[in-house]
């Protein structure tokens, strides 16, 4: 089935076709890109429960064409007010868990009973409903009730479970079965032991979630943060040893932030602070090389790309935290810092991770899903929303249908680190929602799920479009590479043999992986009016349930 799309008026790309249709439905009713994006978010919260939920978090990069302004709305989660750096019982004898490429090489120490991975102590205060409301209030044209109707319908009437969702349920069934409300929604008697992978013919109805969504549509975010739903969440935490209180929920507020900014090949690049900052850094570094002679899959180009990723991921570990005011955002994105990092790259040889990175950006400082929307006026939204791991905490709050996040797993359970647990702290966010403009005119919106992988996937798609002139679908389908802090480079199985050989000759350890099973990200994006022709091209990762839908 073709997943890419072409349209003239408006386009929505998301990783579930029903959510993309929900966004287009709102566009056709007269909503703008922000209205459609929030409708898509709500729908994704229903049809992709393994990836996102109204009990989760997210960030949106929003470009309003009339004003020319690009803004970020941040609704990232926060540690509960009663969270402390020593709240978890550590089990160093189990070793250290390598939770992601931006976790230091030594990893993070294991926690007893994996309490930061699932259950009530794994939850941050969720920001999704507040964030959606802030986007609509600041940039939308429709009410929350209007944009929520497709999601309410999907929750109430149900939808077919795809093989991908069936697989996710099967892989998490034992954990879901520990919580009665979760088992009631996602499991049937006996099925938690062996989920039928032919789940395409099964139908998922979420009655409690539908009622919760109706209450939010009627009463707005106050119902979630100060009303009946807040009481249910707080009561469930009191009864199950959790930390989130009604005061925590009432205190929560989303934020409006400045985007990270850089440039590449004469284009302006914008990213959400966090993972989007790292995308900007990678492209800033590459922009200083003469790339004109490199072809797609050139080992020399991918070597430079991999080295830029390594250097910028070191910056993520050293300088980026959830304390947004303490991060040198301007320095990280500066051309001066990029130049100093670039000078540490040997164009002919791989650099070991043991080599120290010596530039300081302070000197220059003056499982997740993604969606993109462009409307008729060429307003643009690139947004990433998440629940943490697959099915988050695996806990559905009884009587609400709300699947809660497990974002505490992203905090260092040991005290003393910039990303250690603490009251009301945010986590270091890998979200990489990005926008490329040409002399201020939107050209490409793109992003990906996948933890830290989304940074590399998003950067490669941008590189493929801007440097190699690929279409958005070609750029997503092209062979991809992933590297974190460690030495190994992972490549998709379709990476040419001569490319792999060239990388190995330069000293890289290269490992081929099946892109359907290994996390190379699931990017999607929209190419906007290339060559001055009024047309939108949408691209979707081939291994997702996504769709580029337009009109």
Element (H, E) at 435: strand 434-438
Residues 510-537, buried b or exposed e (16+ Cβ, 10 A)? beebebeeebbbbbbbbbbbbeeeeebb
Q: What ranges make up the beta strands (E) of 202-295?
A: 203-204, 255-257, 260-264, 267-271
C-alpha pair distances (Å), 111 with each of 116, 267, 272, 427: 7, 45, 31, 17
**C-beta contacts of 507-515 below 8 A and 24+ residues apart:** 507/349, 507/350, 508/303, 508/306, 508/350, 515/480, 515/543
How far is residue 286's CA from residue 407's CA, in Å, rounded to a whole number?
32
SS (HEC) of 467-495 = CCCCCHHHHHHCCCEECCCCCCEEEECCC
Question: Is residue 492 annotated as a catalytic residue, yes or no?
Answer: no
How far is residue 516's CA from residue 275's CA, in Å, rounded to a whole number?
23
CB atoms within 10 A of CB 249: 21
How far is residue 400's CA from residue 354's CA, in Å, rounded to a whole number?
49
- Picking from 305, 350, 344, the residue whose alpha carbon sits closest to that of residue 508 is 350
The encoded tokens of residue 191 equal: 């099925």
Sequence-separated (6 or more) residues with CB below 8 Å from residue 285: 308, 311, 312, 338, 341, 342, 345
C-alpha pair distances (Å), 424 with each of 203, 252, 358: 39, 9, 32
Q: Which of 245, 368, 369, 384 is catalytic?
A: 368
Residue 199, SS3 per DSSP: helix
Residue 532, SS3 per DSSP: helix
Q: Identify the sign of the CA torsion 425, 429, 435, 436.
A: positive
* Alpha helices by DSSP H, 140-197: 144-157, 163-176, 180-186
Q: How far is residue 549 CA from its own chain's centroid?
A: 20
- Picking from 289, 341, 353, 301, the residue whose alpha carbon sits closest to that of residue 503 is 301
Residues with catalytic roles: 368
């Amino acid at each position: 089935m073709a997943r890419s799309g072409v349209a003239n008026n408006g386009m929505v790309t998301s990783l579930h076709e029903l959510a993309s249709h929900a966004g287009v439905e709102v566009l056709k009713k007269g909503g703008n890109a922000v209205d459609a994006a929030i409708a898509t978010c709500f729908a994704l919260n229903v049809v992709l429960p393994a990836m996102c939920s109204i009990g989760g978090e997210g960030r949106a990069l929003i470009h309003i064409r009339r004003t020319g302004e690009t803004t970020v709305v941040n609704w990232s989660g926060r540690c509960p007010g009663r969270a402390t750096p020593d709240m978890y019982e550590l089990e160093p004898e189990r070793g250290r868990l390598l939770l992601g490429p931006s976790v230091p090489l030594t990893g993070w120490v294991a926690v007893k009973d994996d309490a930061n991975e699932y259950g009530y102590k794994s939850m941050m205060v969720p920001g999704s409903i507040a964030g959606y409301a802030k986007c609509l209030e600041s940039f939308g044209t429709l009410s929350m009730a209007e944009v929520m109707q497709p999601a309410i319908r999907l929750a109430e009437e149900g939808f077919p479970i795809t093989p991908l969702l069936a697989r996710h349920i099967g892989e998490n069934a034992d954990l879901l079965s520990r919580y009665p409300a979760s088992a009631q929604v996602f499991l049937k008697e006996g099925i938690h032991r062996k989920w039928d992978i032919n789940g395409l013919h099964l139908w998922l109805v979420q009655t409690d979630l539908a009622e919760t969504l109706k209450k939010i549509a009627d009463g707005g975010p106050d119902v979630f943060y100060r009303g009946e739903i807040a009481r249910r969440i707080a009561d469930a935490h009191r009864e199950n040893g959790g930390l989130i209180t009604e005061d925590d929920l009432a205190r929560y507020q989303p934020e409006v932030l400045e985007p990270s900014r850089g440039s590449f090949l004469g284009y302006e690049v914008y990213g959400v602070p966090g993972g989007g900052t790292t995308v900007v850094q990678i492209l800033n570094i590459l922009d200083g090389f003469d790339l004109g002679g490199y072809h797609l899959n050139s080992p020399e180009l991918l070597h430079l790309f991999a080295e830029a990723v390594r250097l910028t991921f070191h910056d993520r570990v050293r300088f980026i935290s959830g304390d947004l005011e303490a991060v040198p955002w301007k320095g990280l994105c500066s051309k001066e810092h990029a130049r100093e990092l670039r000078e540490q790259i040997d164009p002919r040889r791989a650099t070991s991770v043991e080599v120290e990175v010596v530039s300081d950006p302070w000197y220059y400082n003056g499982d997740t899903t993604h969606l993109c929307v462009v409307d008729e006026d060429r307003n643009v939204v690139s947004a990433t929303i998440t629940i943490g791991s697959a099915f988050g905490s695996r806990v559905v709050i009884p009587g609400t249908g709300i699947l809660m996040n497990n974002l505490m797993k992203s905090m260092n359970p040991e005290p003393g680190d910039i990303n250690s647990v603490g009251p009301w702290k945010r986590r270091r966010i890998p979200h990489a929602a990005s926008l490329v403009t040409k002399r201020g005119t939107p050209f490409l919106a793109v992003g990906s799920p996948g933890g830290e992988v989304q940074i590399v996937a998003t950067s490669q798609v941008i590189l493929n479009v801007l440097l190699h002139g690929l279409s958005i679908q070609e750029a997503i389908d092209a062979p991809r590479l992933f590297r974190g802090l460690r030495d190994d480079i992972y490549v998709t199985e379709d990476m040419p043999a001569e490319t792999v050989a060239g990388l190995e000759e330069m000293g890289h350890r290269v490992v081929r992986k099946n892109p359907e099973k290994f996390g190379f990200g699931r990017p999607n994006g929209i190419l906007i009016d290339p060559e001055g022709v009024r047309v939108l091209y949408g691209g979707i990762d081939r291994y997702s349930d996504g769709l580029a839908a337009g009109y």
